[in-house]
Structure 1
Amino acid sequence: MTRRRWIADTWTPTTASLTGDQAAHLARVLRAEPGQIFDVVAGGFLHRAEITSVSDQEVLFTLHEELEADAALPLRLLLAVFKFDHMEWAIEKATELGVAHITPVLARRSEKHLTLAAPKRAERWRRIALEASKQSRRTDIPEIAAPITLKAALEQEQSLTRILLSETEQATPLAAALASVGPTGYESVALAIGPEGGWTPEEMAFFATHNWTSVTLGPRILRAETAAIAAIAIASSCMA
């Protein structure tokens, strides 16, 4: 039977602990007891761990041997802010698919009320990523950055391979663009997904200035969350 996996809130070289909601769920719902064995991620490493004490506030583990685990994809997602329920779904699925980093981008065509509310949503997005990481048995949690403007996001992006999903591009499929960069280019890849309505011409010019390659996912117009998941799936298959 596959052991339940948890991501520690705090840890030392030999111990790890769950606090807050995670501890309460283990103590009250799962009725955890000392001596039970779980898989615990601590500091990015997966361990077999034994419960040593249980309370509603903290569950303490002793860490035993380190277990083999898959690393996250070296894939960064620039995700323009769009309808929050759809965006939450995209963040959850992107986490399950293994992305390492998600930057919410305040695009020109992001709805104004969403742009204003986005900074307050960041913590919720991080909680969604945490739960999706546990569900998909990841050994890490993708970093969810604070929402920033596109200009700021492009100026700080250092990935070797930078790919822009563009509705106006018809000639270059995503898979072909990734195949052209070779294994070295897979060491760090960034994908940019626009808002409903797409990027503005001015934003497209920003991407061109920062050496992003425009690609297509095919002839159909996809919703932002659909495009994000399709692009991540294609990229992960190419980078495998």
Structure 2
Amino acid sequence: MKNNIPRIYIKENLDVNHIYSLSRDNIHYIKNVLRMKHQDVIEIFNGTNNIFLAKIIFISIEKIQIKIFKNQLKKTESPVNIHLGQVISKHDKIDSIIEKSIQMGVNKITPLFSEYCNIQKKFFNTSHKIQRWNKIIISTCQQCNRNIIPKIKTPENIFSWCQKNKKNDMKIIFHPTSYTTINQLTQSKKYIRIIIGPEGGFSKYEIKKIVEYGFTAIKLGPRILKTETAAIAAISAIQIKFGDFMM
């Protein structure tokens, strides 16, 4: 199978030899972005470890139908399950963080409110943001060959998120004043929760409380990183140490 076959996401159970009508968004994508034609082949993923190959059997201005002719198992998920707690930033930086972290294998993201995030929860349009973030996640999975759709959780207060940690999770906060590095973490864990702060960093009180909730403070290096850089650097370090990034 060629790697350049276009991919779309369909949220339903799929079967070989069945015919499916596509959604309005997928019709727009196939016709106007991919410029595909009748009998062209497309790859479908539906949030499972299976992918499906289908042919376009009907195409018109308002309707596209496809017929699935093959399915196969295709696992692309990392062996380590990463839950990113990312403090919300202004200017849509979190959109970029979500996109890049999904490419790098994060399984779940919870946007967080903190003391220095400069975002007031009462003025935050949660439903609109969740809808936007889910579209980013699906589009990113479409591009990077992930078949399992990562979850975006409802934004919450940083301490309430920290309190929900499970005992079998490895819990990490990345902070430049720590003396511990990720290479000093020897115990491998399947589930890892990481927390990344905003542009202004964490307050001393927040650091104290987060560590009390069982998080280990880890230093990535001698330089101060922007929040969007810190998230990507942290995920990369975890995937190299515990996941499927190859050096």
Q: Residue type of the partner of 1:65?
A: N
Moved over 6 A (4+): none
C-alpha contact 1:9 1:17 (8 A) present in aligned 2: no
Whether the 8 Å CA contact 1:53–1:61 is kept in 2: the answer is: no
Gaps of 5+ in 2: none
Normalising by structure 1, we get a TM-score of: 0.86
What is the identity percentage for the equivalent residue pairs of Structure 1 and Structure 2? 24
Provide the residue aligned with 2:170 in structure 1. Answer: 161
Query: What is residue 107 of structure 2 aligned with on the other side?
Result: 100
List gaps (5 residues or longer) in structure 1: none
Distance 2:145 2:100 in 1: 13
Cα distance, 1:206 vs. partner? 2.6
Match of 1:85 among 76, 92, 97: 92
Q: Partners in 2 of 1:198 and 1:115 — Cα distance? A: 22
2:29 is matched with 25
For 1:120-157, what per-residue CA distance to the aligned partner results, in whole angstroms no more than 9, with x for missing partners?
32221221111111111111222111111112211223
- 3-state SS in 1 of match to 2:92: helix
Distance 1:232 1:217 in 2: 11
Equivalents in 2 of 1:61, 1:145: separation in Å?
Answer: 34
Map 1:44-193 to 2 at 5 A: 44=48, 45-54=50-59, 56=62, 59-62=65-68, 64-72=70-78, 73-113=80-120, 116-117=123-124, 119=126, 120-158=128-166, 160-169=169-178, 171-177=179-185, 180-182=186-188, 185=189, 187-193=190-196
Give the RMSD, CA atoms, in angstroms.
Answer: 2.3
Tell whether the 8 Å contact from 2:45 to 2:51 is kept in structure 1 after alignment.
yes
The alignment covers a number of residue pairs equal to: 234
Question: What letter is aligned with 2:143?
Answer: Q
Q: Structure 1's 70 and 144: CA in aligned 2 closer, same or farther, altered over 3 A?
A: same
> Relative to structure 2, which stretch is displaced further, 32-41 or 49-58?
49-58
CA distance in 2, matches of 1:206, 1:74: 24
Contact 1:88 1:128 in 2 (8 A): yes
Show the counterpart of 2:8.
Answer: 6
Q: Relative to total residues, which structure has the larger helix share, 1 or 2?
A: 1
